[in-house]
Amino acid sequence: MTKSKTNRQFRPVGVPDVSLSGFWGKWQDAVCNSTAETLLDRCVEAGMLRAIDVDQPSPGIVIPIQPWGGTTQMFWDSDLGKSIETIAYSLYRQPNPKLEARADAIIDLYEKLQDEDGYVNAWFQRVQPERRWTNLRDHHELYCAGHLMEAAVAYYQATGKRKLLDVMIRFADYMIKVFGHGEGQLPGYCGHEEVELALVKLARVTGEKKYLDLAKFFVDERGREPHFFTDEAIRDGRDPASFIQKTYEYGQAHQPVRDQRKVVGHAVRAMYLYSGMADIATEYNDDTLTEALEALWDDLTTKQMYVTGGIGPAASNEGFTDYFDLPNDTAYAETCASVGLVFWASRMLGRGPDRRYGDIMEQALYNGALPGLSIDGKTFFYDNPLESSGKHHRWVWHHCPCCPPNIARLVTSIGSYMYAAADDEIAVHLYGESKASFSLANGSEVELTQNTNYPWEGSVEFKVGLKARSNFALSLRVPEWAIGATLTINGEKVDVGSHLVDGYVRLEREWTDGDRLALDLPLALRPQYANPKVRQDVGRVALMRGPLVYCAEEVDNGKDLNAIVLPRQLPAAQTSVLGDLNGAVAVDVEVMREDASDWGTPLYRSEPAKRASAKARFVPYHLWDNREPGEMLVWVQADK
C-alpha cells in the first residue's frame, strides 16, 4: 500500500446528489418522519422562537448563568441552526410543505433580527447586547454563527431559497470587518470552534475565497502569543487566571495549531477545529497543517479512542483525559464528539482516499454517532457508555440539546460522506444501498448505483451510468478488516492487492455505461483486544463484524452480562436477522458463563465461581436500548 503524494482535492458530493435506500434509507426515514419535526417542537417548547422574535419582548435569562460565566441559552442559535439544517436535508428526501413553512418562518425571524451591520445572535442582540464580542473564549458567538451558516448552505441547496444564505453572507462580511489585525479589529477566534468549517462551506457554495481566508485567519490565530483570550479577559475586567476550565487546552488554544500534536480538551471542540484545519489544508494544499493533523489523528486513534469510535471519556471537561484512559461504564463519549470525528475523518479524505481515515470514519459513524438516535427517531443518547447496569437510556431531550440535531443532520446528509469527487476521480468511502450523481471537472457525468445489503452483508455491487464513455478513476475503500476482499469488473476478477493505493482499490480507466463491479468484503466475526495499557479492557474482548461493534444486552442474555466469558478461540457463530431491530444481524456464540447461583452468602471467597457452557447473543451496539431496557456490555470477559 503506497501513499500517493499528489495534490488532489476531494470535496464531498452535495447532499442532493445522493439518494439512499436500504440501511441508511431507513434511518433517514426515521429522521424525516419523526426527528426533524421533533427537533423543531422541542426548540419551540424551550422558548427559542420567542428569543429571536423582535415582535415579542426579550425572554431575558431563561436558563441561569452558570459558574463558567454563561448559560446554554447562549447556544440556542446553534440548536435552531442544526435543526434547520436537518430539516433542509430531510426535504431532499421527503418534501414536507408544513415543515418547510415552519423553517421559512424561523428564517424570516432571523432576517428581521439581523442588525444593520450584519450581526445576528439571539442572546447578544436580545439579552446582553452590551456584551457583543466581549468574551469569545466562553460565549459561543461565532459557534452559533457557524451553525446558522451551515443551516443556510443546506437550506439553500435543498430549497433554492437564499434568504438565510443572504443573512449569513451579510454576517460573514461583517465578521471580515470585525476580525483581523487592522486598527480596531479583533485578532480573535471562538472558544468553541465551528465557524471555521462553516465558512469553508459558505466559500464553496458562494465561490468566494474571502470566506476561506477568514476561516484560515481563525485557524492561524488560534493559540498564538500574546494570547487573545488573556488580553480579552483583561480588557473585559476578568481575571484570566480564574478561567473555570483552568487551561486553554480545553478549547485547543494552548498553542498555535500547527504546533499541536496531542489531542486535548473538549472533544467536540477538538473535532470541529481539526475539521476546519483539514478543510483549510485541502483548499490551500497546506502541508504544514496536514503534518499537525496527521500527528493528531494518530494520537487520537491509537491512544484515546473507544473501540466504538467514541471519544472524550470524561464528563468533567466533556473531553480527553490521559492516554489509554477509557472507562466503559462511565464513558462520556458524547454523540456529538463521534459526529465530529466523522466530520474530521471525511475532511482528512480531502487530500485523497486513505483508509486510515475512511475506516475510522465508518467505525465512528456506525458505533460512536449512530447510537445517539433511536430506531424511531424520537429519543437520543448524549453520552455513550460501553457498559450499562441497566439505568442508561435515551433521552427525550437534554438540558444541552446539541446531540439530537447533530446526529440527525449527519444521518440525513450521509450521502455526502459516502462519496467524494476530485477533478477526474470518484472515491467511495462508505458502502450502502444508494445512487449518486457526479459532474466531474473533466466533464464526465457519472451516475453510480450501489446495490447492497451492507453492513449486514458484505457483497456490494456497483453499476456505472454514463452518457458517454469517460476516463476517470474510481477508488473503492477496502477496509483493513476485510481480509480476503475480492472484486470483479463485468464479471472479470481484479487483483485487489495490486490495485490498492492507501487502502483503496484505484481503478483508472475508460468506463462504459453499464459497467458493473462486484466487491465482496468478508464479514467474519472478529475478536478485538485492547492494548493492555487500557486498564479498563484488560482480560476482556469485544466483538466486531464488518464495521459494527457488537454488544450483549440483558433482553437476550439475562442479567449479569459480566459473567459471560468468551473462549480464546472464537467458535463458529450463528447469525440471524432480527426484524424488531431494523433487520439487524444478531450473532449467537457458544460461551462459558460464571455461575453465581451456588456462590453462597459471603461477598468474597477463596474459590472463583464455577463455569458452565452457555449461549450468548450479541447485537450491533448502535441498536442497543431499542428493546426492553436492561444491562448492556461491549467488553466481555476473555478466556486466556
Q: Contact residues for its own copies (CB under 8 A)?
A: 298, 301-303, 305, 307, 322, 325, 327, 329-330, 387, 389, 526-535, 538-542, 560-563, 565, 568, 594-596, 599, 601-609, 637-640
DSSP 513: T
Residue 484, C-alpha cell as written in the block: 480476503
Rounded to a whole number of angstroms, the minimum distance from the CB of residue 301 to its own copies is 7
Indicate which residue of 232, 318, 387, 553 is catalytic: 318
DSSP H/E element including 346: helix 335-348
Please check whether residue 82 is in contact with residue 401, taking contact to mean a CB–CB distance below 8 angstroms: no
Rounded to a whole number of angstroms, the minimum distance from the CB of residue 526 to its own copies is 5
Crossing angle between the packed helical segments 287-303 and 355-364, to the nearest 10 degrees: 50
Q: Determine the Cα–Cα distance for residues 94 and 19; give it in Å rounded to an integer.
A: 11
Going 303 to 307 to 309 to 311, the CA torsion angle's sign is negative
Rounded to a whole number of angstroms, the minimum distance from the CB of residue 482 to its own copies is 13
Rounded to a whole number of angstroms, the minimum distance from the CB of residue 624 to its own copies is 17
Rounded to a whole number of angstroms, the minimum distance from the CB of residue 360 to its own copies is 11
Identify the CA nearest to 577 among candidates 569, 567, 564, 587: 587
What radius of gyration do the chain's Cα atoms show?
Answer: 25
Nearer to its own copies, 77 or 554 (CB): 554
What b-and-e string marks burial along 9-44, b requiring 16 or more CB atoms within 10 Å of the CB?
bbbbbbbbbbbbebbbbebbbbbbbbbbbbbbebbe
Please check whether residue 271 is in contact with residue 326, taking contact to mean a CB–CB distance below 8 angstroms: no
Nearer to its own copies, 144 or 360 (CB): 360
Crossing angle between the packed helical segments 209-221 and 195-206, to the nearest 10 degrees: 160
Please check whether residue 106 is in contact with residue 84, taking contact to mean a CB–CB distance below 8 angstroms: yes
Q: In what order do the strands lie in the sheet with 425-428?
A: 11-12, 419-422, 425-428, 470-477, 504-511, 500-501
Q: Determine the Cα–Cα distance for residues 132 and 237; give it in Å rounded to an integer.
A: 15
Rounded to a whole number of angstroms, the minimum distance from the CB of residue 538 to its own copies is 4
Rounded to a whole number of angstroms, the minimum distance from the CB of residue 295 to its own copies is 13
Q: Is 342 helix (H, G, I), strand (E, B) or coil?
A: helix
Nearer to its own copies, 393 or 509 (CB): 393
Q: Determine the Cα–Cα distance for residues 567 and 316; give it in Å rounded to an integer.
A: 37
Cell 430539516, residue? 87
Torsions phi, psi for 592 (to 5 deg): -105, 155
Rounded to a whole number of angstroms, the minimum distance from the CB of residue 392 to its own copies is 13
Rounded to a whole number of angstroms, the minimum distance from the CB of residue 261 to its own copies is 15
Nearer to its own copies, 1 or 538 (CB): 538
Identify the CA nearest to 86 among candidates 138, 41, 135, 145: 41
Residue 297, C-alpha cell as written in the block: 489523528
Residue 184, C-alpha cell as written in the block: 480596531
Q: Determine the Cα–Cα distance for residues 164 and 113; give it in Å rounded to an integer.
A: 12
Q: Determine the Cα–Cα distance for residues 417 and 436; give it in Å rounded to an integer.
A: 12
Rounded to a whole number of angstroms, the minimum distance from the CB of residue 594 to its own copies is 4
Identify the CA nearest to 367 among candidates 409, 416, 306: 306
Q: Is 613 helix (H, G, I), strand (E, B) or coil?
A: strand
Q: Determine the Cα–Cα distance for residues 615 and 593; give it in Å rounded to an integer.
A: 9
Residue 403 is a catalytic residue: no
Rounded to a whole number of angstroms, the minimum distance from the CB of residue 502 to its own copies is 16
Residue 7, C-alpha cell as written in the block: 495534490
Identify the CA nearest to 268 among candidates 213, 190, 168, 152: 190
Residue 400 is a catalytic residue: no
Please check whether residue 357 is in contact with residue 345, taking contact to mean a CB–CB distance below 8 angstroms: yes
Identify the CA nearest to 374 among candidates 327, 418, 411, 416: 411
Q: Is 487 helix (H, G, I), strand (E, B) or coil?
A: strand
Contacts of 498 (CB under 8 A, 6+ apart): none
Rounded to a whole number of angstroms, the minimum distance from the CB of residue 544 to its own copies is 9
Please check whether residue 587 is in contact with residue 525, taking contact to mean a CB–CB distance below 8 angstroms: yes
User: Helices marked H in 94-140 — which ranges?
Assistant: 97-113, 122-126
Indicate which residue of 43, 144, 190, 402 is catalytic: 402
Residues annotated as catalytic are 318, 402
